[in-house]
Amino acid sequence: RVLDAEGNVLVPGIVDCHIHNREPGLEYKEDWESATRAAAAGGVTTVVGMPNTDPVIDRPEHLELKFERGEASAHVDFQSYAVVTSENLDLIPAIDETGALGFKIFLGSTVGDVPPPNDGEILEAMERIGKTGKRLGFHEENGEIIDHYTKRFTAEGRNEPIDHSHSRPVIAEREAVERMITFAEETDAKIHMFHVSSGSAAEAVARGKDRGVDVTAETTPHYLWFTEDVMREKGNVARVQPPIRDAEERATLWDVGIDQDTIDCIATDHAPHTPAEKKVDDPFGNTWDAISGFVGLETEVPAMLTFVDQGRLTLEEWVRRHSTRPAQVWGMYPQKGSLQVGTDADFTIVDPDREWTLADRTELHSKNCVTPFEGETFTGKAIATVVRGDIVAEDGAVVGESGYGTRVDID
């Protein structure tokens, strides 16, 4: 089979280390099959699933179940994080041996309500995970600050989508980043900040890196693309944790995060919810009930290529952050994130000039496709996705088989 790539660009397979594939237990939102179908269509060859499923991935049996389900139905290669809570510190070595890619702590409350460990337990988790050689990532928002502002805003009767974002202020993110960096400095742990949304948090990461702490960081296309104005325009559809910030924070995120190279990875935080959960019929209604998160697997490559087209970063700088570095940060390199010549190669072919408007979310392949990128126009699109030498998607159509994808074995 010969792929005609003339006029297009072949890059190492795109690696998305932050998706909520929702299986096991939340298959009404998404499952391994539908998430990796979207990945293939979007040009993504490797995905890593988050542990806020049902059951949560907090013990070896649950991780094994998640892996089994993935082996049975994935279209692209995959991995999974395990969560650390107050209850499972003793299980860290066993979870490591079961093959988790890394660990995650949800600071504060988030979707799925995984209770955060306290500060002492976090220090202990860092020590124990340090012994495994793996990395610990954070949902980096201080829950006490969020709870306080949520109560205050609710009491004040505020009920705009924008209020809901402001009840998770930048300080909640910056403080959590700084505290976890301090803890890592003490314990020598390798840590990661998922979905950095603000320039202030990126600056905190930069200060940690300057002090020699092994802290890596990620941001998503939506924090680089939108400002909080999207809450006024699209309402709850754009609700996400952490929230989309103001223009000044976004400018600093670009400056410190991207231009000064503080942000190591681009990932989506692909987080499908049903249209009813997202309140699409009443996007400006009761914002305190609407759920956070939206899909991203099919808009991340187009969004990043659009930034390349706009001269915001080079093609190489994009590929480094969306393939090579994520693979390196999570220990999958050079198996993933490199262009190995041979029959086992993962690569994505992109047309950097292709204009595409996501006119209707039903064009996407997830089970639930609500996204604030609906209606946006992009320059650049993936036109072929190749996993271990096999074409899994061509021109947006998934041609590979469910079950072809396999767990990335890092041991």
Decide: is 59 part of the binding site for Zn ion (CB under 5 A).
Answer: no
Distance of closest approach, residue 50 Cβ to ligand DOR, in angstroms = 6
When the beta carbons of 139 and 365 are compared against ligand DOR, the nearer one is 139
Number of Cβ atoms within 10 Å of the Cβ of 327? 23
Strand runs (DSSP E) across 36-146, as ranges?
44-49, 77-83, 102-106, 136-139
Is residue 118 within 8 A of residue 107, CB to CB? The reply is: no
Decide: is 240 part of the binding site for ligand DOR (CB under 6 A).
Answer: yes
Buried residues in 38-73 as b, exposed as e (16+ CB within 10 A): bbbbbbbbbbbbbbbbeebbbbbebbebbbebbeeb
Give the x-and-dash track for 246-285 against ligand DOR (CB under 6 A): -------------------------x--------------
Distances (CA, A) of 135 to 61, 77, 96, 179, 212: 21, 20, 11, 17, 16
Distance of closest approach, residue 294 Cβ to Zn ion, in angstroms = 11
3-state DSSP call for residue 163? helix
| Single-letter amino acid code for the residue at 177 | V
Site for ligand DOR in 45-64 (CB under 6 A): 52
Give the x-and-dash track for 125-154 against Zn ion (CB under 5 A): --------------x---------------
Decide: is 269 part of the binding site for Zn ion (CB under 5 A).
Answer: yes
Decide: is 111 part of the binding site for ligand DOR (CB under 6 A).
Answer: yes
Query: From ligand DOR, Zn ion, none, which one binds at residue 57 (CB under 5 to 8 Å depending on kind)?
Result: none
Number of Cβ atoms within 10 Å of the Cβ of 227? 16
Q: Which of 147, 148, 110, 140 lies closest to 122 in space, CA to CA?
A: 140
As a whole number of Å, the end-to-end CA separation of the chain is: 33
Decide: is 168 part of the binding site for Zn ion (CB under 5 A).
Answer: no
Distance of closest approach, residue 292 Cβ to ligand DOR, in angstroms = 3
Q: Which residues, other chains included, contact 175 with Cβ-Cβ below 8 Å and sequence gap of 6+?
A: 142, 145
Distances (CA, A) of 291 to 24, 111, 287, 334: 19, 8, 9, 37
When the beta carbons of 88 and 220 are compared against Zn ion, the nearer one is 220
Decide: is 273 part of the binding site for Zn ion (CB under 5 A).
Answer: no
Decide: is 22 part of the binding site for Zn ion (CB under 5 A).
Answer: no
Distance of closest approach, residue 326 Cβ to ligand DOR, in angstroms = 18
Stretch that binds ligand DOR, among 2-10, 109-117, 159-167, 209-217 (CB under 6 A): 109-117
Decide: is 130 part of the binding site for ligand DOR (CB under 6 A).
Answer: no
Binding residues for ligand DOR, per CB under 6 A? 20, 52, 110-112, 139, 240-241, 271, 292-293
